[in-house]
Amino acid sequence: MILFELIPFEYLRVIWWLLLGVLLIAFALTDGFDMGTGALLPFVAKTDTERRVVINTVGPVWEGNQVWFILGGGAIFAAWPPLYAVSFSGFYLAMFLILVALIVRPVGFKYRSKREDPAWRNFWDWVLFFGGALPALLFGVAVGNVLLGVPFHLTPDLMPIYEGGLFGKLFGLLRPFALLCGIVSISMLVMHGAGWLVLKTTGDVQARARRFGQTAALIVMAGYALAGLWLAFGIGGFAFVTEPPHDGPSNPLLSEVTRTGSWLAAYSARPWIIIAPVLGFLGTFMARRALSGQGELSPLLWSKMAIFGVISSVGLVMFPFILPSSTDPNSSLTVWDASSSHQTLFVMLVAGLIFLPIILAYTAWVYRVLWGKVGPEDVEDPERHAY
């Protein structure tokens, strides 16, 4: 028996669907508080010293946190090539804006304190705000568009054709439901960033972070509930008429798909997945409660639960669909027909089992070394090499 045949093809497809979700959630849990902190920077810190304190809470870790973004993109490219081709071409301009924001963020970290000029520093503070807030918003908008269905179709030779033109690839994404998802996303990461600042700072900065975090948590709960009602009564889901073989070739055109009912019908078919939105609401409620109290670590932990629940609920409701088509449902990409080959998924799994524990161990070690609060004395001491 060939080695990769030890694990059935359909199992590998599900495993890589799960691993992709793990990588995306890990990115939201780590780089998410970086983005939330950046979005909060102009509002929770009023003086130059306070802003330097806020920047230095994430300064030592943001580069490591973005590893999960790179791993997620790499996993999509290698494990789900059709998904990579359609999403990165259809969302091209949105992706470009996200990359611009992520590129200027490190420039802001490095350049902000190079000059004493208040105007110079204020400019880079708003660059850091842009670098945090814009990706947080657009990631949610992208998720909303995936739930709505993306306007693409596949030619008989499986070439993806995205409809809508150049500007449609950006402005066509700004549909009302997608914007609601964007608001939930940025509010959720602001809440997460507030939890991080409560853990890492003291005094006025911490107090302001608590207030903004509580407001963000309320917006998350209201927006998430509204999105659920919208999915239940205003947006059609996708379902198979003819399901492809789970271990068959990666050709979406071999199945027949229709738009029918609601995405939330998945809760009837798989009742256990209700745990995801329960965790989303419970985590958000408890994070707000912790932010209004005296807890310092608990707001961050509860917000992590909220993020896990909210993101998981989308993937579990959509399974096995990963990128449905609004213009040609039969071109929709699913777990069963949009993956790489059996051998490719197996080799990637072996590599992942080797390297992911190393990354996790190193990340845990870094956070252990950098544990503790950041105060004015840390940024004013020239020997500490603070931002």
Structural domain range at position 208: 13-384
Q: Is residue 98 part of a domain?
A: yes
The fraction of the chain above a pLDDT of 90, given in percent, is 65
pLDDT at 167 over 70: no
More confident residue, 270 or 164: 270
Q: Which ranges of the chain would DSSP assign to H, the alpha helix?
A: 9-44, 48-58, 62-65, 67-79, 81-90, 92-111, 118-148, 165-171, 176-200, 203-233, 266-269, 275-292, 298-318, 342-369, 376-380
- List of residues 6+ apart from 169 with CB closer than 8 A: 90, 91, 92, 93, 94, 162
Residue 6's pLDDT band (boundaries 50, 70, 90)? confident
Whether 1 is in a domain gets the answer no
Q: How do residues 294-306 score in pLDDT, each as one tens digit? A: 889 999 999 999 9
Spatial neighbors of 381 by CB under 8 A, at least 6 apart, are none
Residue count of the chain: 387
Q: Is residue 165 scored above 80 in pLDDT?
A: no
Q: From CA 381, how far away is CA 24, in angstroms rounded?
A: 37
User: Can you tell me the mean pLDDT for 177-182?
Assistant: 96
CA angle 193, 197, 201 (to 5 degrees): 170
Q: How confident is the model at residue 209 (pLDDT cuts 50, 70, 90)?
A: very high
- Tell me, yes or no, whether 8 lies in a domain: no
3-state secondary structure of 372: coil
Tell me the pLDDT tens digit for each residue of 212-222. 999 999 999 99
Residues 6+ apart with CB under 8 A from 124: 108, 111, 112
pLDDT averaged over every residue in the chain: 91
Check pLDDT > 70 for residue 385.
no
As for how many domains the chain has, the answer is 1
Which runs of consecutive H residues, i.e. helices, occur in 201-341?
A: 203-233, 266-269, 275-292, 298-318
Query: Does residue 328 belong to any structural domain of this protein?
Result: yes
For residue 320, whether the previous peptide bond is cis, meaning omega lies within 30 degrees of 0, is yes
pLDDT at 380: 79
Is 3 inside a domain boundary?
A: no
Residues 6 or more apart from 223 whose CB is under 8 A from it?
A: 180, 183, 184, 187
Q: Is 5 part of any domain?
A: no
